[in-house]
Structure 1
Amino acid sequence: MKLIGSLASPYVRKVRVVLAEKKLDYQIQLENVWGPDTGIHLVNPLGKVPCLVMEDGYVMYDSRVIAEYLDTLTPVCKLLPPNGRERADVKNWEALADGVIDAGVVVRLERTQRPPELQSAPFIDRHLLKVTRGLASLSDRLGDSPWCTGTHYSLADVAVGCALGWFDLRFPEIDWRTPHPNLARLHDKLHERASFRDTVPQA
């Protein structure tokens, strides 16, 4: 398998963590979707990463779809329950973590892709509020539990950990640790795992 993506993307990192946890072999092809010479549209018409290219040429995209598929390939380190409410709960955690990232990405694009005189402060504030509320919700849901879904490491933890790591990279001015020490503990515990240490996001 070949994974197309960047070392900064939290969505690509999520897939890389899953690949590491599942002990699956793959090659990574680095791609800057914002570069003038990007060819990402040739594999994903939406122009996004990650993309997972199978040995037969089939291309799968969207980190949530890819992660769910990878979890079916081997019983090693099962990250999703088989079905029912427990599975939906893990996917709900993942959707919330990805949604917090989505809001942050919008802010970053507004600040970096538009000239200062065209940037909208109310628009930025609206999406930063989504980030604040999303992080607070993740913290409230985690509570005092060792892992997002209780006692077991899952894709929920992977998604939350990748979100927190990305905010450290792109929004170092946002202090999420002080108001949410339980998220800080989870983040630190995740970085005891090789899958997280080996995929620290890089600009």
Structure 2
Amino acid sequence: MKLIGSAASPYVRKVRVVMAEKRLDYQFAIEDVWSADTAIASSNPLGKVPCLVMEGGEAMFDSRVIVEYLDTMSPVGKLIPQQSRERAEVKTWEALADGVMDAGVLLRLEATWPHRAEGERSQAWMDRQRGKVMAGIAAMAKGLGDKPFCSGIHLSLSDISVGCALGWIEFRFPEIDWRGSYANLAKLQDKLMLRPSFSETKP
């Protein structure tokens, strides 16, 4: 398998962490989708990463689709429960974390995209996206509470998703002091960073 992506993308990192936790072999191909000569469209017509290219050449995209598929490939370290209620809980955590990343990406693009003149940037739009990021982080902290992991006592896709979101916010928006506001999230993140899957994929 070949994973096409960016080392800085939190969505790509989520897939890479799952690959490591599941002990799956793959080739990591760096691709800058913003470059004029990017070839990502030949694998993903949406021009986005991550994109997983299978041995037969067929491609799979969207991190949520990819990680769900990867979890079925090996019985090692099951990350998504089979039971419907527990499964829905984990997928909801993933949706929350992805939503924080979605808002963060929109905020960053509005603030930094070089093809938009300074006067064209919308402060109201940026404030709205920042509000979603902050609300999402607060919801993560409330949902985690005093549990050792987001969905109980074992590592799951919930924690991987949250860890990748928080790591990216810390990387791209160091001025957002979520650690100072939510000690339980900081404790979880520090615990995740002790795992090679996280420490070796830090953006």
Determine if the TM-score, normalized by the shorter chain, exceeds 0.5: yes
Mind listing any 5+ residue stretches in structure 1 that lack a counterpart? none
Tell me which residue corresponds to 2:117.
115
Where 1:177 maps in the other structure, the secondary structure is helix
Q: How many residues align?
A: 201
C-alpha separation in 2, matches of 1:115 and 1:196: 37
Q: Give the TM-score taking structure 2 as reference length.
A: 0.98
Tell me which residue corresponds to 1:3.
3
C-alpha separation in 1, matches of 2:75 and 2:135: 35
1:125 and 2:134 equivalent? no
C-alpha separation in 1, matches of 2:103 and 2:117: 19
Tell me which residue corresponds to 1:59.
59
Q: Which runs of 4+ in 1 moved over 6 A?
A: none
C-alpha separation in 1, matches of 2:157 and 2:107: 26
Measured after TM superposition, the shift of residue 75 of structure 1 is: 0.4
Measured after TM superposition, the shift of residue 163 of structure 1 is: 0.3
Q: Give the TM-score taking structure 1 as reference length.
A: 0.98
Percent identity of paired positions between Structure 1 and Structure 2 = 63
Tell me which residue corresponds to 1:49.
49
1:78 and 2:95 equivalent? no
Measured after TM superposition, the shift of residue 117 of structure 1 is: 1.0
C-alpha separation in 2, matches of 1:58 and 1:139: 39
Tell me which residue corresponds to 1:153.
155
Mind listing any 5+ residue stretches in structure 2 that lack a counterpart? none
Tell me which residue corresponds to 1:97.
97
Tell me which residue corresponds to 1:163.
165
Task: Summarize the alignment of residues 155-194 of structure 1 with structure 2, pairs less than 5 Å apart.
Answer: 155-194=157-196
C-alpha separation in 2, matches of 1:38 and 1:172: 29
Provide the alpha-carbon RMSD of the alignment.
Answer: 0.6
1:37 and 2:37 equivalent? yes
Where 2:180 maps in the other structure, the secondary structure is coil
Measured after TM superposition, the shift of residue 169 of structure 1 is: 1.1
